[in-house]
A and B are shown apart, each in its own frame.
Chain A
Amino acid sequence: MALPVYAGPLERTWYYAYRVICAAVFFFLIAPIVVIIPLSFNAEPYFTFTPEMLRFEAAGYSLRWYEDIINNEQWLHSMKNSFIIGILSTVVATTLGTLAAIGLSRSELPAKSFIMGVMISPMIVPLIISAAAMFLFYSAPFGMPFALTQTYTGLILAHAALGTPFVVITVTATLVGFDRSLIRASATLGADPVTTFFKVIMPLILPGVISGALFAFITSFDEVVVVFFMAGFEQRTIPRQMWAGIREQISPTILAVATLLVCISIALLATIELLRRRNERMRGVTY
């Protein structure tokens, strides 16, 4: 990457121009996310930097929009909803997805590519189509006289379905480096399949399971189209509330919520990254 000593003036110019271009693209990627953080501490109800803020005067900054969240029944309720729906759908998606990934990693499984296709289909189909289809179907599932729309159950099932492909993919990827003779070793030492699963398989694939679960959680936590179609007022989640905020009464409270969400993303990203490195290290040992 370093500039070779024999480089001509043209190459020299390009070398620095290239770095400027890259810096600009990285800036484009990250600036929109960084810019909302200081703006969420704005003392005025504006979406831009006030002169006081630019002069770094204390009067230009305040926590009023964060107080606004705490005092606002709707935001608190939607946060509770987001976590309830997110966690429960993650539990469903992770349990079913992990079992399925273990099954998929067995070479004996018939019709494997068909099954894989079905399982990752929720990730392939555009969300707007999934949301429309789920809304139509869940309003009278199999023609039964009850509706799953506008219920927590319906949303949890829908989000679990959307989250499972991520669990299946990440856990399957972890299982690629899994040494199957460990299962046989465990069996010859007298462990039954359940014990083998919890004592041998699970600890080894745990990083994959956790990152799959985090993917499933963020899928549900971020999801707004299905919520937009299926949720009633009672089930509004954070993204749905933000949507309403942008559309109806745009106030810097949204920026405060956005900042909190960025913090959550950073925490999730850090966890995933740590798990990925651990997994790479572990694989380095097995091979």
Chain B
Amino acid sequence: MTTADGTPLKVALARATRRSKIRAFLLVAPLLVFILITFIFPIIHMLMNSVDSPEVQEAIPATVAELQKWDGTGLPGEAVYAALAKELGDRSRRAEIGRMSKRLNYETAGFRSLLNATGRKIGGAKAPFKEAFIAIDKDWGNPDTWKVIKNAAPAITISYYLNALDRTTDPDGNIVQQPEYKQIYVTLFLRTIYVSIGVTVFCILLAYPISYMLATLPTKYSNLLLILVLLPFWTSLLVRTTSWIVLLQTQGVINDLLVWTGLIDTENRITMIYNMTGSLIAMTHILLPFMVLPLYSVMKTISPNYMRAARSLGANPLVAFVRIYMPQTVPGIGAGSILVFILAIGYYITPALVGGQDGQLISNLIAYHMKQSLNWSLAAALGSILLAGVLAMYWLYDRLVGIDNMKLG
């Protein structure tokens, strides 16, 4: 069969399909390119940042090359000391050496001052350099010092990830626990998970009764009540956090009310904010709509006839509810829980403002390393671990509910 102009039908169809494929793709392409450049590349860039370790190689390339010949037993040879003396003494390398000191200081505390002191004095030193170095600081006579430099030299490192999991490498390259006082991240990851689970459970407990009410009331009433759920959903996060500060602080509305009713006296005002309690209350309030909306949409599809049938067959109301109604709402509970959990695990603003010291979560630490300590690679490593967790949850969500079924408002 051929078309009017003589081309075979098959070819014409293939051409038409290809053309419409291209047309569909061209519609999608601008946004795809935009998201790739403004969002996906930054994420990839951050992932690379978390394993990137160019500092030592950039600062002292010749020393690194010499160190590769060293077998790790005893002290390295004079050639290594000579190369390091030349490179440390080179004034034009100051910026690179500064970055390397910072990097090595993450591995072993005190490395920065060792390099600074050596850098100041080594310029005037003469051969043999080995003795000159050891005369400046006896740490240069310790093979461990050299092992640390050699271990940090490769361009790719997992040390930030180890650090993010409270591990480190000893000079021989074995993975060991961080000293006790530096172990904070695993605790914080666990705390973040516990808080997220806690918030999710609170949200289920609070959302279930009102979703049931919304789903069973006649539409004209339920639409009005739904506004009470949607208004918080649409209200700025900062506004809601501010109102919780107003309500919960020691001189705040709730404490005033309790004092006024005589339940507590004014000396014993309850501390409900700037601690974990404050974080939990505010986060539950902020995330509650994300639980109500999916639960409500699932419950709305459950026919009341099932309950009526159960009752007419002799089940008492409780049994009917638990055995017949609740199993049908499990998809809604699942969807809402995963959504709330994912949002809670990456929460930053609310814990930072109302969490105080013991309400801080892992995201607060990421922000701390980004803004204050400026250890961006560690922030990137912590972020990557968090991201991996969130993506795993989303994968689960997609399997259970389907991303396409995500509803807004």
Residues in A lying within 8 Å of B, measured CB to CB: 1, 11, 14, 18, 21-22, 25-26, 28-33, 35-36, 39, 46-49, 92, 96-97, 99-100, 102-104, 106, 108-110, 115-122, 124-130, 132-138, 142, 157-158, 160-161, 164, 166, 168-170, 211, 215, 218, 221-222, 224-225, 228-229, 239, 242-243, 246-247, 250, 254-255, 258, 261-262, 265-266, 268-269, 272-273, 276
Contact = CB atoms under 8 A, between A and B. Distances in A.
A160 B23 CA distance: 24
A158 B41 CA distance: 12
Interface string B18-56: 001101111111111011101111110110010000000
* Most B CB within 10 A of own CB, among A132, A218, A266: A132
Contact of B39 (A106, A161, A265): A161
Contact of B238 (A130, A158, A242): A242
A273 B32 CA distance: 30
Given A99-B31, A106-B20, A121-B40, A28 B237 contact: no
A132 B235 contact: no
A128 B246 contact: no
B401 interface: no
Contacts of A134: 38-39, 42
Contacts of A266: 231, 234
B253 interface: yes
Nearest to B379: A132
B213 A161 contact: no
B409 A119 contact: no
Given A30-B231, A170-B408, A222-B237, A133 B45 contact: yes
A36 B239 contact: yes
A129 B25 contact: no
Contacts of B294: none
A239 B46 contact: no
B386 A126 contact: yes
Interface residues of B, number: 89
A258 B239 CA distance: 5
Contacts of A272: 234, 409
B43 A33 contact: no
Contacts of B288: 28-29
B380 A48 contact: no
Contacts of A92: 34
A21 B209 contact: yes
Contacts of A47: 245-246, 249, 251-253
B231 A26 contact: no
Contact of B232 (A33, A48, A103, A221): A33
B206 A39 contact: no
B256 A29 contact: no
Given A97-B31, A161-B38, A269-B231, A125 B46 contact: no
A169 B240 CA distance: 26
A48 B31 contact: no
B222 to A, nearest CB: 10
Given A1-B218, A126-B390, A218-B234, 19 more contacts: A1-B213, A25-B209, A28-B288, A29-B289, A33-B240, A36-B242, A47-B245, A47-B246, A47-B251, A47-B253, A48-B246, A48-B252, A92-B34, A129-B46, A132-B376, A132-B383, A246-B242, A261-B236, A265-B231
B210 A133 contact: no
Nearest to A247: B353
